[in-house]
Structures are given as structure tokens and as C-alpha cells.
Amino acid sequence: MTDARTTVPELKLNDGNAIPQLGFGVFRVDPAEATRVVSDAFEVGYRHIDTAAIYRNEEGVGAAIASSGIRRDELFITTKLWNSDQTHASEALKTSLDKLGLDHVDLYLIHWPHPKGGHALEAWQSLIELQQQGLATSIGVSNFRIQDLEQVIAETGVTPAVNQVELHVEFQQRELKAFHAEHGIATEAWYPLGGGEVSTAPALLEVAKAHGVTPAQAILRWHLQTGNVVIPKSSRKERMAENFDVFGFELNDAELAALAAVDRGEAGRRGGHPDEL
């Protein structure tokens, strides 16, 4: 098996740490299947695993880590703080660590800004303390809008290392990505392939055909070349391997431009909206 450390590029974060650009997500992975699924992902070569408290599969992820034989410093593990836990982030992270069987995570994210709750800033202040305590190597957010990012940066002086958001070829989040670039925030994509509905845009199909790859592989390659951290998921080992096999070809400028034109803006959103969750 190809060594993931030599295959997957890393992006430098604004806190001086690094994140593997290609990872494996376990959103909607059945908790009963999580250990098998993550173990398969490790065998394929993934070393970056993205879970969350609300997925209810942290224990399965932890069991896969424990049985993998992979050194802890070769792994990059992300989990997330759920909305109802924003007022007690420290306890929530410690619960997640217990389930994962770890003494720290590499990245801890506020899962949603949850404007109805009004505690995102308090949660961010808690994450800063958790990072200082060594319980999270890097800290960031997920699904934050520009106004949410502006608030936490202005109030604390600490800029999130990552903002994980829905992003795929039909929903490219250009304004948000520009803000990220201006502030040194890494963009991480969930639903990177479109949430189970891979785009059938003619431009995408043409790019995939030109390289002899699947549309999904072409999309993942587009993510990598446009600077996104990307975390596809699958419960099937053969699909995991396909998603990992995206380093043997490169899109040219014309192909990148063609895929940029596939963007549908807000009409392309397929997941939940930060205003509502």
C-alpha cells in the first residue's frame, strides 16, 4: 500500500501546523459499521479522519485507530463540537476524546455557528483555551458565514485555522473562499462530490473522459488543485480506493476554467444552511 504520508500533500495552517489535504469523512457512517469502514480507509492509505460528536460514531473510529497499529503522529483526527454543547465545550471535547481513545485531537471544530443559540463566540473562546491546554492541536470552525468569522476574529484576535463548509463544483463558495484567503483560513470541503449527487455537467464529463477517470475523481482533483482540503466518504472499500487515486493526473488551466464555470452559486447548495442550523 502506498504510504499516505508521501502521497497526500499537506497544507500549512495559520497556526503553523499542517493538515493532509485529502482525508476521509464518516458523516452518516452507521456507528455499527464505523470500525470496519475506518479500518478499510486506513488500509487504502488514508491517515486523515474526520468525525463529529453528532455522528455518534466516534467510538467506532477510536476502535479502528486502536487496532490499526498506525503511530499516533501519522494520523490526523478531527472531531466537532455540536450546537447544544457550545456552552460547555471543554466537557464535550473530553467526552469525544474518551470515545476516540485519544489524549488530543489534531483539529477541533465548532460544527455550526447556530445563530439561534447565540453562543458561537463563547464556544470559540473555549476552543482557544482547549488548544492552549493541548487537547486540540489546531482549532477551527465549520459552516461559518463571513459575519461569523468576522465576529470571532474581532472579539478574540484568534483566527480559525480551518472553516469546513459545503463546497463542490456546483457550489464553489467564491466569496467565502476569498475571505478565507485574505485571512489565512484553510477551506475544507464537505459534500465535496455533491452529497451523493455527483454533477453531470457536460464540462465535468468531458474533463473526466479526457483523463480516463471518473467524474468523482475529476472533482476531487479539482478540489486539490484549487487549494481545498477535501474529505470524501464511502462505506465501500473499492470506492475509497478510487477516491484516493487522484494523484496520477493533473487538470490544465483550461479544464480548471471549465469546471469553474459549472458553479451555480447558491442554487447549487444541497446541504443545510448555516442560518437555520
Residues labelled as active-site residues: 55
Report DSSP letters for the chain, one per residue: ---HHHHS-EEE-TTS-EEESB-EE-TT--TTTHHHHHHHHHHHT--EEE--GGGT-HHHHHHHHHHH---GGG-EEEEEE-GGGTT-HHHHHHHHHHHHT-S-EEEEEE----TTT--HHHHHHHHHHHHHTTSEEEEEEES--HHHHHHHHHHHS---SEEEEE-BTTB--HHHHHHHHHHTPEEEEESTT-SS-----HHHHHHHHHHT--HHHHHHHHHHHTT-EE----SSHHHHHHHH--SS----HHHHHHHHTT--GGGG--S--TTT-
